[in-house]
Structure 1
Amino acid sequence: MEMPYIVSRRNLTCLRVIGIITVIYLATSPLYQSNIISNLLHKSHEGNDVITEEQNLYDHHHTKNRIQSGMEIFKEQKTQKELSIRTQQDAVSDHKLNKTVKGIPPVPADLKMMLGKILRRGFLDDREESCEKGFYILNGMSKCEPWLSCEEMNNGKILRKMKKIGGGVGKLVYSGLLYDKFSVAIAYSRRPGNPRLGERVRVGNENLMKFQPSPYVLQVVGHCLQGPNSTLITESCSQCTDLRRVRKRSKLGFSKFDDKQKFEWLIKIVGGFDLLHHAMGLPMVHCDLHTPDEFLTQYVLMEDNQIVMSDLDELPQVDVHNNVFASCKEETDGVMKSPEFIAPEQRYSEHDYELDVSRKPITEKADIWKIPDIASLIMRGSPLEQTIERKMDYIHSQCKSEDPKLRPTARAILIEYLQFYKSSFW
């Protein structure tokens, strides 16, 4: 006589679950839904010792899936997703002026105001802020415009491709004209059929968009991902070029730029490292900096004499607490052209390369090692070169510590640079 009793209890359980689902669909308030679900689930399990733990999990999972299909819950999830996106955007936005990050000293208020003026793009005139994420503004525009869509980018009346102006292993870059008036750069995947190179270009484009808007990186105008092809439109100008070409075009190197301008570049470079190391929660390492020349190719000189990061193809993240470290690709053929420029923990031998152990685990402190050499490269031949070396000797010596943990943060170096700028140029 026990069997009918057990079957009856199972049927009762099913009826209860169906009843729960019905009430959920009829209710209009998410809070009301939540209360009803909580109460009914509690009652449906009272005295029901025959139901196993597996059945409990199934009922809960089944009910949860039904709840999520309700319109109100969908809307709530959509709102939460949008808030999550905004939170990530706010993290980048906070680093426009390198704001406070947990565990990292904030930039003092007086230096922050000065930094804001250093970072300000010349064509923004009296605008207090740059555009929001998903929008852009170019020199000559009166308002922010939304990023170009694939359809707009493929419309010859909106965007015209001009001549090739550069590129690398993974992409080709052409000059372009937007609305027959505004200069832009168009970056195409060079070999979209190659999975490895195509993925690298796609990730690089996504990284650049991830850090929008920021005065430290090139401004995105549009993006289109169609199959393996990832095309990115960015700001540009007729004279825009990377710092390596700027230096090679003149026998004087960077000497045609005054000390104030060049030191502002250094502030932007160090501030850019601070952005990469702290804006996304977990530090990112800039892996495309094998040599001084390669470093110079990562920055573009704009028409207002500001420099911005333009190539963010390889930015692995570090999570020390979970034993996750970055690993940068080797140079061509595994031969280090400038081993002294690379941090000791990142260096490798030809034997390491042959054994496939040349990609060594590193942290963001590998970027810090390079900062003194970058400063020397930018300020070389400057009347202030020796003064800067003397004033920055202590913190630059820390940057060259063999132990990565003893090197300062990019934020600490940025504050030192800003203090020197204030006493020398402000």
Structure 2
Amino acid sequence: MLLSSDHNNFADPPNFLYWFWFFGYLCACVILAVFKLYLLPSSYKSRNFTHNSTASTHAPNFKCIWSVVDNRTKCKPVCGHGYFGLYGMEACHPWLDCDELKSINGSEKIPLSTPGSVKQVRISKWEGYDVVVKKLRDYHIGRRAHTEYKHGLQILKDFSNHSEVLQLVGFCDSVMVTEFHALADANNLEKHLMVYKDFDNVSTRFQLCLDFLYIMTLLHSGQGGKVYAHCDGNAVSILLWQFLLTDDFRLVISDVDALVDLEILNGVTQKKVCPVESRNYSVPFNAPEQHWPYKEEPFNISRMPPYDEKIDIWKIPDVCKSFLHYMPLKIKILPHLRDINNRCKSKDPQTRPKASEVLAVYRDVHRHLIGNGSTILSLHHT
């Protein structure tokens, strides 16, 4: 009986212990939920979302982000072709025309890491909202400059409903107006992460790799019967001038003037040569097919063999490595990307994967290492 009594005493602890365990477990769950929602600001799912303003099916959708610049959540309407929506606006507005552009006032030089040799770039105001005004420089108002300007403007129009592309606000003659992003081009990443240290983690950095691939996949999607490939860039830093960082450390492509358009005929991309007459692309950052093949002769663009969008695939591993930056992160992540990166670096462009294939592999690695509650890398700060 004594043994039985002692056994029951150990098996049936006082009721207050049950309540202690229960409340302890409940508090742990609450703390974990708060940590994931608010203390991991680089988590895209918890900081960047779309919602409908009312129950009405005619009300606009709003995209909301956590802005590190404003230190708050801010939203803007999601607009269709021919319209724009800036953060703080309640409804979409048609692209500004020549008359409306006259109402834009104020102008200060935008903080860029490149001076912009073709266009003047200024921050201005439209009805209290920050916008960017880009104007062809006087000494570049010629046929070629106008052709590139019109080409870039048309691309912004064609992809205006895609969040991966800089949002067009208006245009008139040799002036275009776009959305403003305070963090400027992607070459500023390291400088900004030194300020916003909570975002300097693998989630933020690897998400930028994914964003770059989302953009590549979009440009290579064949929208409008064309594929677009990058022509302006002999190094990672030059390429990153063409991308902007959003307030929540996402990536958008901004400078699209130098994208070459490749027509699709019978399902096959028609090859071209990047139309930069004086530039020799024979540097390691560029794909082998962009290199001048006749070493004993001076460069002549008219004799250059054409190529297709696979020149972009070659650059993917180098761009992603620049985003990861910190060596411990590379050691943990790059082995998982080795096979797909080696395929990207194939000397034969036909054996390189499509951008969508690379994106699929990178997303799988992201889910394995960071997503779905994985803690392998999600708490690793650089």
TM-score by length of 1: 0.64
Following the alignment from structure 1 to structure 2, what is the Cα–Cα distance between the partners of residues 306 and 323? 29
| Greater C-alpha Rg | 1
Q: Which residue of 2 aligns with 1:296?
A: 240
Report the CA distance shift for 1:365/1:182 in structure 2 as closer, same or farther (over 3 A).
same
Q: Which residue of 2 aligns with 1:422?
A: 367
Q: Which residue of 1 aligns with 2:155?
A: 207
Give 5+ residue unaligned stretches, structure 1. 1-112
Does residue 310 of structure 1 match 2:310? no
Which of 180, 189, 192 does residue 236 from structure 1 map onto?
Answer: 180
Q: Which residue of 2 aligns with 1:258?
A: 201
Does residue 218 of structure 1 match 2:161? no
Report the CA distance shift for 1:202/1:359 in structure 2 as closer, same or farther (over 3 A).
farther
Q: Deviations over 1:315-370 (max 9, x none)?
A: 22334657831211448x5455x711100001126755544446441111110000
Does residue 154 of structure 1 match 2:102? yes
Instruction: Give the aligned length.
Output: 303
Report the CA distance shift for 1:335/1:361 in structure 2 as closer, same or farther (over 3 A).
closer
Report the CA distance shift for 1:261/1:353 in structure 2 as closer, same or farther (over 3 A).
farther
Does residue 347 of structure 1 match 2:347? no
Matches within 5 A, 1:372-383: 372-381=317-326, 383=328
Q: Which residue of 1 aligns with 2:33?
A: none
Q: Secondary structure at the match of 2:228?
A: coil
Report the CA distance shift for 1:208/1:385 in structure 2 as closer, same or farther (over 3 A).
same
CA contact (8 A) 1:121 1:306 kept: no
Q: Which amino acid aligns with 2:203?
A: K
Query: 1:195, CA displacement in angstroms?
Result: 1.3
Q: Which residue of 1 aligns with 2:228?
A: 284
Following the alignment from structure 2 to structure 1, what is the Cα–Cα distance between the partners of residues 213 and 197? 18
Q: Which residue of 1 aligns with 2:12?
A: none
Report the CA distance shift for 1:260/1:399 in structure 2 as closer, same or farther (over 3 A).
same
Following the alignment from structure 1 to structure 2, what is the Cα–Cα distance between the partners of residues 171 and 282? 26
Give 5+ residue unaligned stretches, structure 2. 1-43, 51-62, 68-72, 372-382
More helix by share: 1
Q: Secondary structure at the match of 1:305?
A: coil
Structure 1, 308-317 or 126-135: larger mean CA deviation: 126-135
Does residue 171 of structure 1 match 2:119? yes
Structure 1, 132-141 or 406-415: larger mean CA deviation: 132-141
Q: Secondary structure at the match of 2:141?
A: coil
Matches within 5 A, 1:110-125: 122=65
Following the alignment from structure 2 to structure 1, what is the Cα–Cα distance between the partners of residues 299 and 342? 33
Q: Which amino acid aligns with 2:239?
A: F
Report the CA distance shift for 1:290/1:255 in structure 2 as closer, same or farther (over 3 A).
farther
TM-score by length of 2: 0.70
Report the CA distance shift for 1:242/1:358 in structure 2 as closer, same or farther (over 3 A).
farther
CA contact (8 A) 2:77 2:86 kept: no
Following the alignment from structure 2 to structure 1, what is the Cα–Cα distance between the partners of residues 319 and 136? 30
Matches within 5 A, 1:133-148: 133-148=81-96
Which of 387, 396, 402 does residue 347 from structure 2 map onto?
Answer: 402
Which of 198, 204, 207 does residue 146 from structure 2 map onto?
Answer: 198
Report the CA distance shift for 1:118/1:286 in structure 2 as closer, same or farther (over 3 A).
farther
Q: Which amino acid aligns with 2:85?
A: I
More strand by share: 2
Q: Which residue of 2 aligns with 1:365?
A: 310
Q: Which residue of 2 aligns with 1:327?
A: 273
CA contact (8 A) 1:170 1:201 kept: no
CA contact (8 A) 1:175 1:185 kept: yes
Report the CA distance shift for 1:379/1:323 in structure 2 as closer, same or farther (over 3 A).
closer
Q: Which amino acid aligns with 2:314?
A: W
Q: Which residue of 1 aligns with 2:329?
A: 384
Following the alignment from structure 1 to structure 2, what is the Cα–Cα distance between the partners of residues 136 and 232? 13
Q: Secondary structure at the match of 1:175?
A: strand
CA contact (8 A) 1:289 1:295 kept: yes
Following the alignment from structure 2 to structure 1, what is the Cα–Cα distance between the partners of residues 349 and 321? 21
Query: 1:198, CA displacement in angstroms?
Result: 2.0
Q: Which amino acid aligns with 2:226?
A: L
Following the alignment from structure 2 to structure 1, what is the Cα–Cα distance between the partners of residues 319 and 88? 33
**Identical pairs, percent:** 27
The root-mean-square deviation of aligned C-alpha atoms, in Å, is: 3.3
Q: Which amino acid aligns with 1:263?
A: F
Q: Which amino acid aligns with 1:189?
A: L
Report the CA distance shift for 1:376/1:208 in structure 2 as closer, same or farther (over 3 A).
same
